[in-house]
Amino acid sequence: MSIPVRRSPCRIAITIILSCLSAAVSADPDCASHTSEHAPGSDLNSGDEYMGLRLLGSLELHETQCKSLPLMGLSALAWSADTQILYALSDRGHVLHLRPVIHANRLTDVRVVDAFPLRGPDDQPLDTHNGDSEGMTVLNGANGISGDEQLLVSFERRPRVSRYRTYGLWLEDMPLPARLTEIDNYRTPNQALEGVVMHPQLGLLTAPERPVADTRQSHFRIYDRNGPVAELARADADYGSLTDIALTPDGRLLALERIFSGAFGIIAAVIHRLDPAGADTGSTRVETIARLDRDAGHNIDNFEGLTHHRDNRYFMISDNNGFFVQKTLLLYFELVD
């Protein structure tokens, strides 16, 4: 979801003050390799531990284009161990191929290497209504076979989960519970399917941004193809939104919650952990791994994308909404508990 943008002087001032660890990626329409320069500026620096995570790097990605597709509005990430590509999904209906540069276990740079529009069954690029792409996971990304990777992509406005080639070719729409395919069941058309993973035991899992109609509004729910399989309490029952889910190596899930108040902007990003295969709906054991909070001086923006990298390490990215005072932040961290 792209959050509503407030352009008041107060909002602009707050966002500018929240400068952080950053590195610029220069524009290049031909997708050439990009270099970036690390510029610390936050009280949480690379190597620091906070709650259940250790920060291993933070970059700011400045807007650029690759094949005329902008690096902006990034709402999801998916890592392929086979290709060493970090797929980044734009909510404008396209996918960018990024190559992170990691030295001594620290994220130091990221390079844009390719980009493709998502296409529909008619092989045409998706239009605005059909192309509000929000969640993504990679299939066949760690089997040692070259060229068989696919992406699962979840959407808002016309809620669905579709299977794609990594170059944007549509393959099929995946079966979902009927409740999730009807947009009138969501609070707004812009608060539909935000996260998707392929669980080793449960299969396809997806999560709406806000609780759907006729369910407890105090809890997020995670669904498989048949219905809800797990739920977790919102850290903020008024302003919390579930913006992504990511699979851990042991089959649990990380759930990313963004807390956004229209009056005060983005307040916090909360990372939860739960085991969807180990509990019945309503009794899922949930842990809070970390809460990155604006008021604590943490570098936060509109964090929407989360994916596992290797071992206990993860990438997380923010959606800048295409608004000049917001940032596209790429964080690299590891869980320490």
The ranges assigned to domains in the chain are 9-335
Give me the pLDDT at residue 8, please.
37
Phi, psi at 307, each rounded to 5°: -150, 150
Decide: helix, strand or coil at residue 62. coil
Give me the pLDDT at residue 165, please.
98
Give me the pLDDT at residue 299, please.
74
pLDDT per residue over 270-316, tens digit each?
999 999 987 554 557 899 999 998 887 777 788 999 999 999 999 99
Give the chain's residues under pLDDT 70.
1-30, 32-44, 262-264, 279-283
Give me the pLDDT at residue 263, please.
60
Other C-beta atoms within 10 Å of 217: how many? 14
265 φψ region: left (φ > 0), alpha (ψ -120 to 50), beta (else): left
**What dihedral do alpha carbons 56, 61, 67, 72 form, nearest 10°?**
110
Give me the pLDDT at residue 296, please.
78
Give me the pLDDT at residue 264, please.
63
Give me the pLDDT at residue 283, please.
59
- Return d(Cα 59, Cα 308) in angstroms, integer: 17
- Return d(Cα 261, Cα 280) in angstroms, integer: 32
pTM, two decimals, is 0.88
Give me the pLDDT at residue 223, please.
97
Decide: helix, strand or coil at residue 36. coil
Give me the pLDDT at residue 66, please.
94
Which CATH fold would you assign to the domain 9-335?
Neuraminidase (2.120.10)
- Return d(Cα 325, Cα 266) in angstroms, integer: 13
* 91, amino acid identity: D
**Cα angle for residues 132, 5, 168 (degrees, 5° grid):** 20
Give me the pLDDT at residue 279, please.
57
Give me the pLDDT at residue 94, please.
98
